[in-house]
């Protein structure tokens, strides 16, 4: 059994789930840890529910907060609310079931969502002889649906609105997240200043996933089954998600396929324009791709600190922290291409 769910905590979890679901009883079976999820811990469970609104057996995922919070991410109650809004908007997100903010139950806040089938690992998703054009189009369509969620949506009042506009607010946050590294690293300093000087004017605000990329969605038999990892979501420029998806960091060695290593940008953009009700702005996408490298660099620094602080020793976190030179190289290549 997982460290979170053991002989002591399982009865508490089962009783709590029964109360939340209006069931006579709930049994938690088949507990195993899922791979991936560098920030949150994901556990696969089977719930055997007797009575109530979910009577029957259900394959679910319990998604728990990390031992050390990352400033860039939402807490689990907030992430659950975003997931619920996306699901209600018709996005291919896992169905949210229930959330718990009481850390006394398992030691951390968590929520439960329905489990989807498929492969998420980026290096496996991109491993095809031919471009996956329909998959890219469908990912564009799903993003277009998500971007219909606006700040007036009930239940998302906790998400802050940009003060100076999404671009300048983002650059300020990246500088804060990177801490002193942003002051002594010349590439980060240059990149952050570039973001400030070239920031596009504020426009419409939509709900952005902010980690929409290969590796954060599930694919089965070549088709999309679910979009995962909603912990970074927030109000922003709709072009931010497109820039993030196309960043070189998420192509997993297939740099020739600029849309997440699976197809050409044109396929992603075409799908997006089918459902979004707006045209893709390539200039703004290029800006947000530059922003993506700075954001990923700041997150990598934080991930490395989770390991080096001793709070959460992890080879994966340590290796992520050492990716900074590679991310900076991708940033410089991108900025050079814009100058050309």
pLDDT tens for 154-164 read: 999 999 999 99
Residue 200 has pLDDT above 60, yes or no: yes
Torsions phi, psi of 330, nearest 5?
Answer: -65, -40
Q: Which residue in this structure is represented by tokens 């398992």?
A: 106
CATH code: domain of residue 148: 3.90.1200.10
Tally of structural domains, the chain? 2
Going by C-alpha positions, the residue among 158, 120, 157 that lies closest to residue 44 is 120
Give the per-residue pLDDT at 158: 96
Q: Which domain holds residue 161?
A: 122-339
Give the per-residue pLDDT at 172: 96
Single residue among 114, 144, 159 that ends a domain in this structure: 114
pLDDT, tens digit, for every residue of 128-142? 999 999 999 999 999
Using N-to-C axis directions, what is the helix angle for 282-308 and 324-339, rounded to 10°? Answer: 170
Residue 81 sits in the same domain as residue 191: no
Give the per-residue pLDDT at 2: 58
Residue 311 has pLDDT above 90, yes or no: no
Helix (H, G, I), strand (E, B) or coil at 258: coil
Residue 305 has pLDDT above 60, yes or no: yes
Give the per-residue pLDDT at 70: 63
Give the per-residue pLDDT at 117: 96
Give the per-residue pLDDT at 307: 63
Residue 54 sits in the same domain as residue 155: no
The tokens of 120 are what? 């998420």
Establish if 285 belongs to a structural domain: yes
Residue 92 has pLDDT above 90, yes or no: yes
Q: Which residue in this structure is represented by tokens 């045209």?
A: 279
Residue 102 sits in the same domain as residue 223: no
Stretch 171-195: mean pLDDT: 93
Look over the chain and give the mean of its residue pLDDT values, rounded to a whole number: 93
Residue 43 has pLDDT above 70, yes or no: yes
Give the per-residue pLDDT at 195: 98
pLDDT, tens digit, for every residue of 67-90? 766 666 899 999 999 999 999 999
pTM for this prediction: 0.93
Establish if 1 belongs to a structural domain: no
CATH code: domain of residue 19: 3.30.200.20
Residue 170 has pLDDT above 70, yes or no: yes
Stretch 302-306: mean pLDDT: 75
pLDDT band at 296 (very low <50, low <70, confident <90, very high): very high
pLDDT band at 340 (very low <50, low <70, confident <90, very high): confident
Contacts of 191 (CB under 8 A, 6+ apart): 290, 293, 294, 297, 328, 331, 335
pLDDT band at 314 (very low <50, low <70, confident <90, very high): confident
Establish if 215 belongs to a structural domain: yes
pLDDT band at 312 (very low <50, low <70, confident <90, very high): low
Residue 1 has pLDDT above 60, yes or no: no
Give the per-residue pLDDT at 3: 84
Residue 161 sits in the same domain as residue 69: no
Stretch 312-335: mean pLDDT: 83
Cα 191 to the center of its chain, rounded Å: 23
């Amino acid at each position: 059994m997982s460290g979170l769910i053991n002989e002591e905590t399982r009865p508490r979890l089962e009783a709590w789930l029964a109360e939340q679901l209006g069931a006579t009883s709930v049994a938690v079976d088949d507990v195993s840890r899922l791979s991936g999820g560098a920030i949150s811990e994901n556990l696969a469970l089977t719930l055997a529910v007797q009575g109530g609104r979910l009577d029957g057996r259900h394959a679910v995922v319990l998604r728990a907060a990390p031992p050390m919070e990352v400033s860039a991410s939402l807490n689990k109650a907030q992430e659950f609310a975003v997931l619920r809004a996306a699901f209600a908007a018709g996005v291919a997100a896992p169905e949210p079931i229930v959330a718990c903010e009481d850390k006394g139950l398992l030691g951390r806040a968590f929520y439960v969502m329905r489990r989807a089938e498929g492969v998420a690992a980026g290096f496996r998703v991109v491993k095809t002889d031919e471009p996956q054009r329909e998959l890219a189009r469908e990912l564009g369509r799903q993003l277009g649906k998500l971007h219909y969620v606006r700040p007036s949506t009930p239940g998302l009042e906790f998400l802050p609105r940009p003060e100076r506009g999404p671009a300048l607010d983002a650059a300020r946050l990246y500088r804060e997240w990177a801490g002193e590294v942003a002051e002594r690293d010349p590439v980060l300093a240059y990149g952050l200043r570039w973001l400030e000087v070239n920031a596009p004017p504020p426009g419409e605000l939509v709900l952005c996933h902010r980690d929409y990329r290969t590796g954060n969605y599930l694919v089965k038999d070549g088709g999309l089954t679910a979009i995962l990892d909603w912990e970074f979501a927030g109000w922003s420029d709709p072009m931010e998600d497109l820039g993030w998806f196309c960043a070189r960091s998420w192509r997993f060695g297939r740099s020739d396929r600029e849309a997440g290593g699976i197809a050409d940008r044109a396929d992603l953009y075409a799908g997006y324009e089918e459902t979004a009700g707006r045209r893709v702005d390539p200039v703004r996408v290029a800006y947000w791709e530059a922003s993506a490298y700075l954001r990923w660099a700041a997150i990598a620094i934080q991930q490395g600190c989770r390991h080096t602080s001793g709070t959460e020793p992890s080879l994966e976190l340590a290796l992520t922290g050492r990716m900074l030179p590679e991310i900076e190289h991708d940033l410089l290549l991108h900025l050079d291409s814009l100058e050309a």
